[in-house]
C-alpha cells in the first residue's frame, strides 16, 4: 500500500499519525498519573478504570508508531499537553475532555486518509476511534453516577 501513495500523501499521513501518536503518549501519562494519584472511598474502582484505559492507549500508541514506520516516517516521542491533579471528579472530567478531543482529531484524520485513499490507515484509525468513543462513554457514565 505504501508504495501506491505519493511522497506528498505519505508526508501528510505521517504528520497526522504523529499528531495522534503525541496525543496517545500524553493520554498514557495522564491516565497512569491519575491511576497512581487518585484517593478516596470511591477511588479503587475508578483507579482500575484509569489503569485499563492507559493500557488501551498504549495499544493505540504501538499501532500508530508501527504504521508511521511502515510509511517511512519516524514515530514522534513528543507528548501532547496533559492535565494532572485535582480531585476524582476533576480527573475524570479532564479524561473525558481528552477523549472528546481525541474523537474530534481522529474523525478529521480519518477524512484525510480516506480522501487520499489509504484504506489500511483509515481502518486502523476507525478502530482506535471506536475505542476512544467507548472511553468517552465510560467517563460520561462515571460522571453521571457521581452527581
CATH classification code of 2-141: 1.20.1260.10
Kindly report the number of other CB atoms within 10 A of residue 97's CB atom: 13
Nine cell digits for residue 28? 498514557
pTM of the model: 0.93
pLDDT the model gives residue 38: 86
Query: Which of the four pLDDT bands, split at 50, 70 and 90, describes residue 41?
Result: low
Q: Cα separation of 67 and 8, whole Å?
A: 16
CA distance 144 to 58: 27
Q: Binning pLDDT at 50, 70 and 90, where does residue 145 land?
A: confident
Ramachandran area for residue 119 (φ above 0: left; ψ -120 to 50: alpha; else beta): alpha
Q: Percent of the chain scored above 70 by pLDDT? A: 95
C-alpha cell at 125: 484509525
Amino acid at each position: 500500500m505504501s508504495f501506491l501513495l505519493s511522497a506528498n500523501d505519505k508526508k501528510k499521513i505521517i504528520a497526522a499519525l504523529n499528531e495522534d501518536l503525541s496525543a496517545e503518549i500524553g493520554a498514557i501519562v495522564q491516565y497512569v498519573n491519575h491511576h497512581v494519584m487518585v484517593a478516596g472511598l470511591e477511588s479503587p474502582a475508578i483507579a482500575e478504570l484509569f489503569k485499563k484505559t492507559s493500557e488501551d492507549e498504549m495499544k493505540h500508541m504501538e499501532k500508530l508508531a508501527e504504521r508511521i514506520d511502515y510509511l517511512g516516517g519516524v514515530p514522534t516521542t513528543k507528548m501532547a499537553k496533559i492535565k494532572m491533579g485535582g480531585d476524582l471528579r476533576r480527573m475524570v472530567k479532564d479524561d473525558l475532555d481528552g477523549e472528546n478531543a481525541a474523537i474530534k482529531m481522529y474523525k478529521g484524520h480519518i477524512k484525510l486518509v480516506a480522501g487520499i485513499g489509504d484504506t489500511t490507515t483509515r481502518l486502523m484509525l476507525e478502530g482506535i476511534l471506536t475505542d476512544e468513543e467507548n472511553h468517552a462513554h465510560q467517563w460520561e457514565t462515571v460522571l453521571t453516577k457521581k452527581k
